[in-house]
């Protein structure tokens, strides 16, 4: 039985749920975090019964300022130490920067960037004291390119990739590893939330289970980055060869509604 404990944000659906199931199969104890408490409780009960592990649930909005501090306080009250952090919660919106309200962009930056960064900082302290830590940060293939009509989302994921790889290097002398996961289009609720239906993005999608499996293996191999899905892997190579104006036009076309 694996006695290590994993905290997963965005565990109520999609990639986060599939990652929770993947870690549970390996015998890790879990802390599941998202807003939808009933979905978290249902998943927690299934995983407890199937794998005889401890599963705690924290229902919290992570897009609020101070969310990471509040979550860490809850963990301390429950006496839960975190060995593996999975920063997965995130959302995107398909729309022009000037057309959507600023509150939505602020909320996205808070969740995709600030909470991820703050939670990493706060939980690293305990990882360092205990001499062990693994961190999986969910970025995206859009981390590698600017995306018109996904401008803030792509910029937020560029932050996640850059931050994670730099941190992986900074901590290389300690027993703490950081892996950035860059999924391509994956069949989850993400596209409903983003308003992607009818776009080319949703034409070819991996399953969240495929993505979770690749992510888990990359984390165990202590890799600084993994692009999931064989079709997505050559993307950084092609992007390096292509003029930026082409990249912008192709990215714009992918996100356009039919
Ligand atoms: N699907 C794709 O094509 C794709 C591609 C590349 C990267 N990604 C990234 O993968 C990650 C997981 O997304 P997914 O595809 O699995 O989408 P999803 O099914 O919509 O899952 C998103 C998760 O984040 C949680 N979440 C959203 N807003 C939250 C908030 N304010 N506070 C707390 N939790 C919140 C959701 O739970 P609640 O609603 O219950 O709070 C849910 O569990 C995201 O970071 C996304 O950017 C997705």
pLDDT of residue 90: 98
pLDDT of residue 197: 86
pLDDT of residue 94: 95
Catalytically active residues are 153
pLDDT confidence tier of residue 198, bands split at 50, 70 and 90: confident
Write the residue with the smallest CA distance to atom 46 of ligand 1: 90
pLDDT digits (tens, 9 = 90+) for 23-44: 999 999 999 999 999 999 999 9
Q: Which atom in ligand 1 lies closest to the alpha carbon of residue 142?
A: 6
> Residue 217: pLDDT above 80?
yes
Q: Which atom in ligand 1 lies closest to the alpha carbon of residue 205?
A: 3
| pLDDT-above-70 percentage for the chain | 100
Which has the minimum average pLDDT: 64-68, 113-117, 169-173, 251-255? 251-255
58-82: average pLDDT: 98
Question: How many angstroms separate the CA atoms of 29 and 7, rounded?
Answer: 9
Q: CA quadruple 75, 80, 84, 86: dihedral positive or negative?
A: negative
pLDDT confidence tier of residue 216, bands split at 50, 70 and 90: very high
> What distance in angstroms lies between residue 156's CA and the mean position of ligand 1's atoms?
14
Mean pLDDT of the chain: 96
Q: Ligand 1 pocket: which of 8, 15, 68 to mutate (most atoms <8 Å of CB)?
A: 15
> What distance in angstroms lies between residue 241's CA and the mean position of ligand 1's atoms?
31
101-105: average pLDDT: 98
> What distance in angstroms lies between residue 239's CA and the mean position of ligand 1's atoms?
26
Q: Which atom in ligand 1 lies closest to the alpha carbon of residue 185?
A: 3
Question: How many angstroms separate the CA atoms of 207 and 13, rounded?
Answer: 12
pLDDT of residue 226: 98
Fold classified for 5-254: Rossmann fold (3.40.50)
| pLDDT-above-90 percentage for the chain | 95
Q: Which atom in ligand 1 lies closest to the alpha carbon of residue 63?
A: 31
pLDDT digits (tens, 9 = 90+) for 143-175: 999 999 999 999 999 999 999 999 999 999 999
> What distance in angstroms lies between residue 243's CA and the mean position of ligand 1's atoms?
31
> What distance in angstroms lies between residue 176's CA and the mean position of ligand 1's atoms?
25
Question: How many angstroms separate the CA atoms of 50 and 15, rounded?
Answer: 19
89-104: average pLDDT: 97
State the alpha helices, DSSP H only, in the chain. Answer: 14-25, 37-51, 67-78, 102-109, 116-130, 151-170, 190-194, 208-220, 235-241, 244-254
> What distance in angstroms lies between residue 237's CA and the mean position of ligand 1's atoms?
27
Q: Ligand 1 pocket: which of 89, 160, 210 to mutate (most atoms <8 Å of CB)?
A: 89
Q: Which atom in ligand 1 lies closest to the alpha carbon of residue 141?
A: 6
> Residue 1: pLDDT above 70?
no
pLDDT confidence tier of residue 203, bands split at 50, 70 and 90: confident
Whether 133 is in the pocket of ligand 1, judged by its Cβ within 6 Å, is no
Write the residue with the smallest CA distance to atom 44 of ligand 1: 90
Which two three-digit tokens encode residue 104? Answer: 């939505």
Query: Angle 102-109/151-170 helices, nearest 10 degrees?
Result: 20
Whether 91 is in the pocket of ligand 1, judged by its Cβ within 6 Å, is yes
Whether 109 is in the pocket of ligand 1, judged by its Cβ within 6 Å, is no
CA distances from 33 to 43, 59, 108, 223 (A): 11, 6, 17, 25
């Amino acid at each position: 039985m694996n006695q290590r404990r994993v905290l997963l944000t965005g565990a109520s659906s999609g990639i986060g749920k599939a990652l929770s199931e993947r870690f549970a199969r390996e015998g890790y104890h879990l802390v599941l975090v998202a807003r939808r408490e009933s979905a978290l409780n249902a998943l927690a009960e299934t995983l407890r019964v199937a794998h005889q592990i401890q599963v705690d649930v924290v229902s919290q909005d992570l897009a609020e300022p101070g969310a990471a501090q509040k979550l860490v306080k809850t963990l301390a009250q429950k006496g839960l130490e975190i060995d593996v952090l999975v920063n997965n919660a995130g959302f995107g919106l398909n729309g022009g920067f000037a057309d959507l309200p600023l509150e939505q962009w602020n909320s996205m930056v808070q969740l995709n960037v600030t909470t991820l960064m703050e939670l990493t900082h706060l939980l690293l302290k305990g990882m360092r004291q205990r001499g062990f830590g693994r961190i999986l940060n969910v970025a995206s293939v859009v981390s590698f390119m600017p995306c018109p009509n996904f401008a803030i989302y792509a910029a937020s994921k560029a932050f996640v990739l850059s931050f994670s790889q730099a941190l992986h290097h900074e901590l290389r002398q300690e027993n703490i590893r950081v892996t950035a996961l860059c999924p391509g289009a994956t069949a989850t609720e993400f596209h409903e939330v983003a308003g992607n239906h009818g776009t080319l993005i949703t034409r070819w999608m991996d399953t969240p289970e495929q993505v979770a499996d690749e992510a888990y293996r990359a984390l165990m191999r202590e890799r600084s980055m993994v692009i999931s899905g064989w079709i997505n892997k050559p993307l950084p190579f092609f992007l390096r060869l292509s003029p930026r104006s082409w990249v912008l036009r192709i990215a714009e076309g992918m996100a356009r509604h039919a």
